Structure 1
Amino acid sequence: MAKRLQTGIEVLDRKLGGGVPAGSTIALCAQPGSQVELFLNELTAMRGTLYISLGRTEEAVRESIAASPARTGDPTIRHITGDAPIDNAAKLVSALPDASNLIVDPVDVLERASHDRYRNFLNEMQNHMANTNGLAILHCLDGQNVPQGRDTTRFMADVVFDLSTTVGADSVENRLAVPKFRGGRALNEVIKLELSERVAIDTSRDIA
């Protein structure tokens, strides 16, 4: 069995048999108004991380990580702007050292590029992560304007995490599904999570 890399989220690593296979690419899909940043922040604590931000500035990401109540690391943060985001992201990815994390937040900007260019970027990124035993997380915003490349992201990804957030009259419920898991067993259950200070199982109600 391929070496497993921990995500830093204990409940998830336990249910996935110790983590995800080294070299994997994860599509983390969540609504824009969710607490999905806790996932990304906790991931930075596990190993050296390159955090590519395609939305927020480097300062905003750094302040968010510093203010997080969860355990975090000290990632290298790069904010990509301009007319060639895929080219700039590819250069950064190609320089990643062995056993590193890669976070792309959000990947939507790249998903709006032409199909061929985006697919080539994903292939090159996945080859690099596999050759260096790293772990890539692509943060996918599941909002009202989903990019044309989202199907490509989910198809190419080795693992898919679907986080859904439901706001009720007196509560907020977060549920995590793992419908796809190459190199392992996908979960046949949905995990109810508490996303406040850290990512943990929601014990206030029945666990789905």
Structure 2
Amino acid sequence: METLPTGISVLDREFGGGLPSGSVVVLKADPASQSELIVDRFSRPRECRYLTTVRSADAVEASLALGGAEAGDDGESDGERGDSEGGAGETVVEETDREAPLDDVLATAAELSDGATLVVDSVEPLEASDRSRYGSFLTDLRRHVADAGGIAVLHAFKGETGRNRVVTEQVADVVFDLRTTVTGTEIANRLIVPKFRGGAALEEPLKLKLTDTVSVDTSRDIA
């Protein structure tokens, strides 16, 4: 099984090079967090089809353009990393049909190039579907991603989620749980990986700095 870089080098080091090809990944986060920065990084190492279900395609493209030259977690720019993370590929952003988002996502997944990334941002409108149909959708999505040897990233917001969220997490191969806490002195972001099918989940949270870039937070926690 080939390993594909995530676009975040500290994760790639933890996971022995990246994520297994064919994986369906769920990134859970608070709606008011900076989780879009992580999704941005996932979209960069390879060719990517980026499907937006809520925001406009123009808004997503503008956001991706702003992050195009940002530094990675090890302080190297995208240009400096070059082929060390598999080489950057083209990202095509499209809006899903609000009336038939499941069909749109499956049609795009069926057209994925070898080793490409599919991003769905965000998954809530899909989870609003009938449970039986949504389960079949996830099964078909996994099959298309496995056939392409790529990765699917489902951006999932916490809060008032429907009953299909448990189905999303059950079917997913990898679950990233971004937890953002606010105190009187700091905003702390910790990435937890409780599920990693085909690999080893992280034994402890990874503290991240999410400003306009993604980096490792090396500051010490003070009780």
TM-score, reference length from structure 1 = 0.94
Contact 2:51 2:94 in 1 (8 A): yes
Structure 2, unpaired ranges of 5+: 71-77, 79-87
Contact 2:46 2:90 in 1 (8 A): no
Structure 2 residue 178 is matched with structure 1 residue 155: no
Aligned with residue 138 of structure 1, among 154, 158, 164: 154
The within-5 A match list for 1:103-182 is 103-143=119-159, 145-182=160-197
TM-score, reference length from structure 2 = 0.88
- Give the equivalent residue in structure 2 for 1:20: 19
Aligned Cα RMSD in Å?
1.5
Distance in 2 separating the partners of 1:74 and 1:62: 12
- Give the equivalent residue in structure 1 for 2:201: 186
Shift of 1:89: 1.8
Among the aligned pairs, what percent are the same residue? 42
Q: Decide which moves more: 87-96 or 178-187.
A: 87-96
Matched residue count: 205
Contact 2:53 2:98 in 1 (8 A): no
Structure 1 ranges of 4+ moved more than 4 A:
none
CA displacement, residues 61-89 of structure 1 (integer Å, 9 cap, x when unaligned): 00011112534764111101332111122
CA displacement, residues 110-164 of structure 1 (integer Å, 9 cap, x when unaligned): 0110111111111111111111110110000012x11221000000000000000
Secondary structure of 2:184's aligned partner: coil
CA displacement, residues 31-57 of structure 1 (integer Å, 9 cap, x when unaligned): 001111111111222000000100101
The within-5 A match list for 1:35-54 is 35-54=34-53
Structure 1, unpaired ranges of 5+: none
Q: Decide which moves more: 51-60 or 188-197.
A: 188-197
Q: Which amino acid aligns with 2:106?
A: A
